[in-house]
């Protein structure tokens, strides 16, 4: 696997990034876990998700699947450079979308809970 620096963070990430947008809506949780296990075994250490991913199953489902995979232990969380996104609506109130300070703070805290981790390596603006 080839790796590159992630900006100026000092982190080395695989040139291939595992996207999790279909985890839940298109891919079962068991298959999603198997995909992440295989990706990690192949040296892919850069995983990308978003608070909005989940489709008809509901926003946050993909993050929950990744979080339950992390919770299985084995150093999974420590081996992955984790990216997630904020921006899309997560509710109907005025500050539950886009980039208000309130939404960013609440969305980050909720993502951390769903992902069952205490850190996000790359927090980015979604669509």
Q: Which residues belong to the active site?
A: 53
- The answer to whether 32 touches 21, Cβ cutoff 8 Å, is no
3-class DSSP state of 25: coil
Helix, strand, coil percent values for the chain (each to nearest 5): 35, 20, 45
Closest CA to 103 of 112, 95, 92, 113: 95
Closest CA to 104 of 121, 124, 81: 124
């Amino acid at each position: 696997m080839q790796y590159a620096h992630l900006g100026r963070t000092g982190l080395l990430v695989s040139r291939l990034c595992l996207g999790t947008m279909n985890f839940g809506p298109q891919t079962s949780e068991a298959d999603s876990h198997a995909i992440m296990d295989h990706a990690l075994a192949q040296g892919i250490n850069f995983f990308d998700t978003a608070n909005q991913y989940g489709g008809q199953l509901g926003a946050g489902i993909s993050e929950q699947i990744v979080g339950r995979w992390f919770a299985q232990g084995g150093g999974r969380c420590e081996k992955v450079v984790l990216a997630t996104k904020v921006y899309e609506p997560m509710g109907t109130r005025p500050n539950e979308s886009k980039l208000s300070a309130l939404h960013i703070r609440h969305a980050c805290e909720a993502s951390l809970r769903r992902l069952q981790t205490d850190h996000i390596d790359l927090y980015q603006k979604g669509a």
